[in-house]
């Protein structure tokens, strides 16, 4: 098999199993990435400002810290808006995938072809966006499972791959969450059920 497809398959499996864990760090990574991109684009011009060009190395480092922290702050500040767009994207993916699946086609062949997005796809996306804001934890599992299913379908192909991976991803993430979820300590170092957790 093509090494690229193998890498994509492993990435898909990771999202199917540990997607919820990855989602918890999504906004931190997103903010840091955006801040880094802004720094790369502006550092050469900003270090030429009088007062900064005398210390280009220090100024560049401080600008990096500033942009990364500022972008991370903005990502958390506008988290709800980003969550809405995440739900919108999830709805678009699932709506197109369902339509292609019902037409007995290969899911990957049409998913995310934005030139074919219909009004129904947009409506489903908007509904998912609102539901994502209201029920973020539930839809985070659905989003990451959809992403993992999309990657696995790209690597493996097949009509049933997307649906099978989506169901397996939701089940796997719920099992991982139940196994490793944080437990608040109760009396005697036990959780609320009276059983000890590692």
* Residue 13 counted as domain residue: yes
* Residue 39 counted as domain residue: yes
SS3 state at 185: coil
* Residue 123 counted as domain residue: yes
pLDDT at residue number 30: 83
Residue 97 has pLDDT above 80, yes or no: no
* Residue 198 counted as domain residue: no
The torsion defined by the Cα of 101, 136, 145 and 81, in degrees rounded to 10, comes to 80
Nearest-CA neighbor of 107 among 162, 61, 188, 63? Answer: 162
* Residue 193 counted as domain residue: no
- Read off the pLDDT of residues 100-112 as tens digits, 9 standing for 90 and up: 666 655 555 445 5
- Read off the pLDDT of residues 12-24 as tens digits, 9 standing for 90 and up: 888 888 888 888 8
- The sign of the torsion formed by the CA atoms of 48, 54, 55, 59 equals negative
* Residue 88 counted as domain residue: yes
pLDDT, greater one: 158 or 65: 65
Say how many domains are in the chain. Answer: 1
* Residue 185 counted as domain residue: no
pTM reported for the whole predicted model: 0.61
* Residue 196 counted as domain residue: no
Residue 194 has pLDDT above 70, yes or no: no
**Can you read off the two tokens belonging to residue 137?**
């934890």
Domain around 169: 3-179
SS3 state at 115: helix
């Amino acid at each position: 098999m093509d090494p690229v497809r193998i890498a994509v398959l492993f990435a898909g499996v990771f999202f199917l199993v540990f997607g919820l864990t990855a989602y918890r760090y999504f906004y931190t990574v997103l903010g840091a990435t955006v801040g880094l991109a802004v720094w790369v684009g502006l550092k050469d011009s900003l270090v030429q400002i009088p007062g900064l060009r005398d210390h280009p190395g220090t100024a560049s480092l401080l600008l990096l810290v500033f942009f990364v922290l500022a972008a991370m702050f903005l990502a958390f500040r506008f988290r709800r808006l980003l969550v809405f767009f995440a739900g919108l994207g999830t709805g678009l993916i699932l709506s197109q995938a369902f339509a292609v699946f019902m037409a007995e086609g290969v899911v990957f062949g049409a998913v995310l072809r934005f030139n074919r997005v219909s009004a129904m796809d947009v409506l489903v996306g908007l509904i998912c966006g609102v539901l994502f804001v209201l029920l973020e934890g539930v839809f985070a599992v659905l989003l990451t499972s959809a992403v993992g299913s999309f990657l696995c379908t790209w690597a493996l192909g097949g009509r049933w791959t997307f649906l099978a991976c989506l169901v397996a991803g939701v089940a796997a993430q719920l099992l991982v969450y139940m196994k490793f979820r944080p437990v608040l300590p109760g009396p005697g170092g036990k959780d609320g059920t009276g059983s000890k957790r590692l």
